[in-house]
Amino acid sequence: MSADRKPLLPYPVTLVIGVLLMVAGMYVSTSVHIAALDALRKQGILLDPGKTVASIGVLIILFPVINAFYVRPLEDAIEARNSQLEKTFTEAETLRSEMTGMKQAYEERLKETEANARAQIQAQIQEAQTLRKSLMDDAASRADALVKKAQEEIAAERDRVLADLRVATVTLALNATEKLLGANIDDEKNRRLIEEFIEKSEVPV
């Protein structure tokens, strides 16, 4: 602080010097006649060394008071203002650094979030494709099973119908033969012969 600076001379010494200069100056101004000054006055130059010395003495006497009540408070105010400005600049710089760090952290989090979102989307797409393929494979398997079962049922029904038709045909043939011959020929051997004949005569399906 500027108020902590010590003057070069103690105030009593400065006061004595100022009083001496003031008294000496007034004495020179009122009692000492200098011929050279008259010539300067005639030329329009008003110069009074005595008053000048006295003014210096008064200034020396009043300077500590001026310094204490005006100069030092002004210096303190200027220094306080400078300190406040430096503090403000430091806080602004710190805030700027923090904002830069926050921005970088936000950008990193944003990139990470976007990467996670893309990864999740890709995983869901892959899962959906896998599920679709599984469902299609399952549907195809079920369709194949249904077709195979239907084919088996159709083949079984066809075999049953053919067997019933064969039995009916054999029976009908035997009955017709019996009527023609007038005798009972419904024995196992004749039935087998007629069945073999029908089997040979069947058109393959």
* pLDDT for position 2: 46
Query: Residue 123 — φ and ψ, nearest 5°?
Result: -65, -40
How far is the C-alpha of 107 from the C-alpha of 113, rounded, in Å?
Answer: 10
* pLDDT for position 66: 82
pTM of the entire predicted model = 0.36
How far is the C-alpha of 44 from the C-alpha of 27, rounded, in Å?
Answer: 23
The structure tokens listed for 93 are: 């710089």
| pLDDT profile of the chain (205 residues), mean per 10 | 57 77 77 63 66 82 81 88 91 91 91 91 92 89 88 87 78 70 59 65 53
* pLDDT for position 68: 79
Contact in structure between 174 and 191 (CB atoms under 8 Å):
yes
